[in-house]
Structure 1
Amino acid sequence: MRLGHSVEVVRAAEGALMARLPEGTLMQRAVAGLAAVCTQVLDGVYGARVVVLAGSGDNGGDALFAGARLARRGAGVTAVLLTPDRAHAGGLAALRAAGGRVVGVEDGPAVIARAALVLDGITGIGGKGGLRARAVPLAEAAHRSRAAVVAVDLPSGVDADTGEVHGAAVRADVTVTFGTHKPAHLIDPAAEFAGVTHFVDIGLGPELAGPVLEALQHADVAALLPRPAGESDKYRRGVIGVVAGSRRYPGAAVLAVSGALRGAAGGVRYVGPVGDAVLARHPETMVSSGSPHQAGRVQAWAVGPGLGDGADARAAVAEVLASDVPVLVDADGLRLMDPETVRGRTAPTLLTPHAGEAAALLGWAREDVEARRLTAVRTLAERLRVTVLLKGSTTLIADPDPDVPVRANPTGVSWLATAGSGDVLSGITGSLLAGSLPTRDAASCGAYLHGLAARVARGPLSALDVADAVPEAWRSVYV
């Protein structure tokens, strides 16, 4: 599992560790890892042109020390000092001793244009509010150049704690982070600026307090996924009820059931007006055209995809929310549900909005949700007292308890931005709920498998391609 820690926690851990180590040890551990990554990025160090963008903080010092190491191996290293009178004294001395040269900000764009690698040490993890005006031309020149851009700990200009980007920021190809990940490495829009993240262990682990963010990996998901036991039957494995689709949107029902059948549940009950379409694709489905309470016992409900906005749809959502089993609400169900009913439920509830649906529930603009994803998912979960899976370029899962770390899904790919993909996700995740997983784990595993399935399907894909690839994705987490 990858963990993301706040700046406050990182600072405290660094302070505790530095108090027990000789002066400068922690920085040199970071510098060694940073220089090693830069060496891997460069196609040969000797003779390579490297530009170091150095601000006044420790990140600037890290960049200068790493530049000195590269210079000693034959690279031509030029440092652009944004605040020459406040540059890290030790790092600057080391760079000059190794043969590196120093230029002013005004000469930065010209030397960047000829570089093979640009090392971004403008600001550190405490930076707020985007780049200052003097740094913007340097970031723009790096983006225009053919150089590989390597960020020190974090791309300058992004917010470490939230993943937000306010104004101009450096766009890195590679980010080298020290000690732990920060939320910005795992959450868009900042994660897009970070590129590929390399983790360098500098010994902070034992000093770090609780994370604010988690990203599951294969082993974590494998440990959570339910497996049938020898005495299992379809009812012991759980039955998921799916309330989806309408005469106008029959495909939503088919897609939600397709996802549900690939999840952990032993059976799927479909409730709605398009049972014929569902049976034509999935004859193993138990179909009911009545109301949800007439369908038979289920261990969880998934409600909402393609329901439309008629009176029957609204009544079905209300009836499902009145049940005493876990409920997943998606798509049209999010518009039709009564927030007060949701807030008052005693059984577990999971909402799965995209940014537009979350914006409507929060009373925000969609752009604000996309720019402030971590804040949005936390706020919605706390306000409605439910678990929230916020879909998007970074899918986030928040518990209503603000002390529980938010989870960021690492498997999503842009090909999932296709019609019906969310319906499949609802089915998979609802099935995991019926299979006894708590809402946070069901949402995390559902999103993880959904993203893996898209990777298995590869390239341009349809929602049914994703559903069909779920079994292979499921098997892959055990490898």
Structure 2
Amino acid sequence: MRTAYSVETVRTAERELMARLPEGALMQRAAAGLAAACADLLGRVYGSRVVLLVGSGDNGGDALYAGARLARRGAGVSAVLLAPERAHPGGLAALRRAGGGVAADGGAAGRLIERADLVVDGIVGIGGKGGLRPDAESLARAAARSRAAVVAVDLPSGIDADTGEVHGAALPADLTVTFGTHKPGLLVDPAREYAGSVRLVDIGLALPGDAAVLEALQHADAARLLPVPGAESDKYRRGVVGIAAGSARYPGAAVLAVSGALRGGAGAVRYVGPAGDAVIARFPETLVSDRGPKRAGRVQAWVVGPGAGDDAATVAEVVAADVPVLIDADGLRLVDVGAVRARTAPTLLTPHAGEAAALLGVSREEVEAARLSSARELAARYRATVLLKGSTTLVAAPDGGPVRANATGTSWLATAGSGDVLSGLAGSLLASGLPARDAGSVAAYLHGLAGRHAADGAPVGAHDVAEALPGVWRDVREEGRAGV
């Protein structure tokens, strides 16, 4: 499990560690890791041209000490000081002793960046708020235009470390070298898009496990959560998921939700709705009923809403059931917030940004700019677990615990019906016994991997994603057992 901690928690851990170490030792650890990552990215250090963009904080000091290490290995290293009078004195002295130089003026800085092989972004640290200031913004534009690879120190300058929000200009990185732990902004869009690849350097921080604010599953975590039938299992003991979806206008939504559910670990799928003929023609193993949710037979979880049109009565009937319920698509528009808040069984809402915006009464742009706070607010408002779909999917529980972030997906998943497959998959995991937070997290993880596998860099349909699920399920289990 990758975990991310708030700026306040990280700074507290850094102060406690520095109190036990010789002065400057923590910065030297960070600089060593940063220099090693830069060397790996360069491939050949000797003769390479490196430009350090140096702010007044500790990130600037890290960059200067790392630059000194690269200069001692034969790189030509130049520092651009945004606040010369406040540059880290020890780091600056170390760079000069190693043969590095300092840009004399803004024109020289531009020419250096234009010719650089590598630019190290040490402008702003984890406490930075708002976008880059004009002098830094001009350097960021020059770096973005150059052929140089950009390495961010701890996090890209201009992003918010705690929220993943980007207010103003920021400097995109090819690689972010972060110290001690991940920061939430490195795992949540829009900031995640600026981070590039992320390399975590252990500097010895002692971080309390219960203080994490964000988590991201890895193969081993997902593998531990996947339901596996026992020797005495039958289709009912494995769980039955009910799918109340589709309409005369959108029968495909029902078919796709069922396709995801059949591959989600439950032993059986019951379908209720007007698209029964389409469902049974594609998936004859489905238990089809046209008598409504209450008379469909026993289920361990319901999925309601995909392609439901204006069938508010069915949505209300499902929400009144005393089993876990997943609400998606049209169901989110039709459901009564009071009915959701009054439920005692788990509820999982799965909106995309537009649907979340409608539920919150804000614009889609506001949700996309503040995904973390939007997911948390929805979870609190509805007293439900919320899976906010997007480039990074977020799963927030109503109890305010760590939010789960998932980035296994691909932009090719932005296709009609993809969300219906995800809903069926997550609903099946609910029926198999997983809590709502785990069901949503594992479903997003598998769905993203299935999208990557099915697309392989080309357009993909939702049915292709569903068909790829068994393969990625096997991969996750096998690699999870191997400790990947």
Which bin holds the TM-score, normalised by the shorter protein? over 0.9
**SS in structure 2 of the partner of residue 263 of structure 1:** coil
Give the AA of the match of 1:289. Answer: D
C-alpha separation in 2, matches of 1:87 and 1:21: 23
Residue 315 of structure 1, aligned match among 313, 321, 332 = 313
Instruction: State the SS of the aligned residue for 1:242.
Output: strand
Deviation for aligned residue 1:294: 1.2
Aligned to 2:102: 102
Q: CA deviation at 1:207?
A: 5.9
Q: Is this contact kept in 1: 2:391–2:407, CA < 8 A?
A: no
Query: Which one-letter code corresponds to 1:318 in the other structure?
Result: A
Give the 3-state SS of the residue equivalent to 2:302 in structure 1. strand
Q: Measure how far apart 1:264 and its partner are.
A: 1.1
Say whether residues 1:426 and 2:423 are aligned partners. yes
What letter is aligned with 2:109? Answer: G
CA contact (8 A) 1:59 1:122 kept: yes
Aligned equivalents of 2:163 and 2:62: distance in 1? 23
Corresponding position: 1:466 with 2:480: no
Map 1:182-221; keep pairs closer than 5 Å: 182-206=183-207, 210-221=211-222
- How far off is 1:455 after superposition? 1.9
Distance 1:475 1:24 in 2: 47
1:293 alignment partner, SS class: helix
Q: Contact (CA 8 Å) 1:9, 1:208: kept in 2 or not?
A: no
Aligned to 2:398: 400
Q: Is the 8 A contact 1:17 1:207 kept in 2?
A: no
Q: Distance in 1 between matches of 2:210 and 2:245?
A: 43
For residues 106-131 of structure 1, the C-alpha deviation after alignment (integer angstroms, 9 at most, x for no partner) is 43222101100000000000000010
Over residues 23-55 of structure 1, what are the superposed CA-to-partner deviations in whole Å (9 max), with x where a residue is unaligned?
A: 111111111110000001113111111000000
Partner of 2:5: 5
How many residues in Structure 1 have an aligned counterpart in Structure 2?
475
31-40 or 104-113, which moves further after superposition?
104-113
Name the SS for the 2:135 alignment partner.
Answer: coil
Counterpart of 1:67 in structure 2 is 67
For 1:45, the equivalent position in structure 2 comes to 45
Residues 418 and 462, structure 2, Cα contact 8 Å, conserved in 1:
yes
Instruction: Give the drift of 1:105.
Output: 3.7
AA of the residue aligned to 1:28: Q
- The residue type paired with residue 296 of structure 1 is G
Q: Give me the whole-angstrom Cα distance separating, in 2, the residues matched to 1:444 and 1:208.
A: 19
Work out whether residues 260 and 430 of structure 1, in 8 Å CA contact, stay in contact via their aligned partners in 2.
yes
Which of 312, 328, 331 aligns to 1:330? It is 328
Deviations 1:134-185 (A, max 9, x none): 1001000111110000000000000000000000001000000000000011
- 2:260 is the alignment partner of 1:263: no
Amino acid at match of 1:442: A
Identity of aligned residues (%): 72
Separation in 2 of the partners of 1:169 and 1:387? Answer: 32
Shift of 1:224: 1.0
| Structure 2 partner of 1:450 | 447
Q: Which residue of 1 aligns with 2:142?
A: 141
Secondary structure of 2:271's aligned partner:
strand
Q: Deviations over 1:69-102 (max 9, x none)?
A: 1111111111000000000000000011111110
Cα RMSD after superposing both structures? 0.9
Residue pair 1:216, 1:410 contacting (<8 A) in 2 also: no
Change (3 A) 1:130 1:456: same
| Match in the other structure for 1:375 | 373
Equivalent residue number for residue 172 of structure 1? 173
Match of residue 231 from structure 1: 232
Gaps of 5+ in 2: 479-484
**TM-fit CA distance, 1:208:** 6.6
* Structure 1 equivalent of residue 481 of structure 2: none
Other-structure match for 2:255: 254
Unpaired segments ≥5 residues, structure 1:
none
Judge conservation of contact 1:13–1:208 (CA < 8 Å) in 2. Answer: no
State the TM-score, normalized to the length of structure 2.
0.97
